[in-house]
Structure 1
Amino acid sequence: MLKLLNVSKTFQGGDVRTTALDRITLEIDAGEYVAITGPSGCGKSTLLSLLGLLDTPDSGEYRFDGRNVTGWREAQLNSLRRGRIGFIFQGFNLIEELSVAENVELALEYMNVPARERRERVAAMLDKLGVAHRARHRPSQLSGGQQQRVAIARALVARPALLLADEPTGNLDTAHGDEVMRLLRQINAEGTTIVMVTHSPAHAAQASRTLRLLDGRILVDALQAA
């Protein structure tokens, strides 16, 4: 599904040039659940951004579903993202001025889904994630765990093939974090490919495969014991 070939990415800050990713070669099959780990600054979030088409490599090649998307125009990347990729962020990124249902529906508006279908899909997704009773509330009226459930609903309502999660439990207490991890396992079991960045060894162990990065390179690529 995803294939990186000798991908590198650098950032320039004043006179300092930092290599975030150094000749990464990686293949992720459909249906996998991959955890990306490593110390701060090792390239985890940069790798996730490249996989999610939010950034582009300086060199190398990226193939998404067999298509070489390296060098695609932004409009092409946006179209592919909307239809195929969902994102979950540590900070939830919910819009306070919108209700829970409106936050989730926003993802479908960008895809020009008809209004009636949007409402039906939003209601079904909120019900699935156990926050249907909060549909008319504002994000600030929800607990952290409920806000992350809404963020997951927003990511899934467009039925993406790939779900990218950047520290999805980072702002949650242990109980709510464990609940989010249970939801991710369920989502993966239903067929969605997941790539998750995490600092938690316990959460990484719940994935089927773990990548450990160091200094922009893949140090370890290991399957978890069944």
Structure 2
Amino acid sequence: MKERRHSKKSWKGVEKFFDRVLAAYAARGINLEITTPFNKNEVGSRFGAEGEAMTDAGRITISVHDWVHMCFDLPKAAVGKVNPFNEHSGKWNFYTDSHAIDNPDWQDDFLRDLEWNLDKINARRWEVTPKHITVEEIATRPIEDWIVDEKMGTLYIIDGFDRGATARSVIEESNKGQKESMIAMHTSWLSRKSDIEVYQAKLSWEKYKTDHPHEFAERDEPRALGM
């Protein structure tokens, strides 16, 4: 997208816009983290805030700049509940008019539309409810169903499951031959996922190995000396 440009005058309006949008989320218990503070002395500089929220259609991620970006984890659950959004990717954007963003009346209209949509899906603070399960229980339902539950606020804790060790094993096997720094980076990324997500990665990797036996037979085949 083409980068927007602002005058000194409109830049003051952008600051007000940013504050008002954050206040709209905060009023619903959604406190976004300012990742890049607004710099009123540097016109056109980058700024932003990010966070997540629970809705009646599941979890959404949020990014606020001089426009608002949100994304549904479960797009199908949001169909028909809010203004048009990308029903495949879940992207739900609220664009601004760079020529009007410093206009208080325009800001009022923007905020009314944003708040109306947030209230339609009961947007609120993201909270999770921990629940212990066993590996045996996971097999009673498709893994995708457990993932959907987590996106609706249930955090499953798999009893006896070592998330870190499992993540390391999956990454080491699937990235065999890669540099240790690359393996460590990918392991760190996967380890930050939930127990269910790491278990899903484990199942996906095991299925891949089963579906591609020749690839792994060749990988593990002893090499002749000197080769």
Q: Shorter chain as normaliser: what TM range? A: under 0.3
Q: TM-score, normalised by structure 2?
A: 0.23
Q: Which has the larger radius of gyration?
A: 2
Higher share of residues assigned strand: 1
**RCO higher in structure (CA 8 A, sep ≥6):** 1
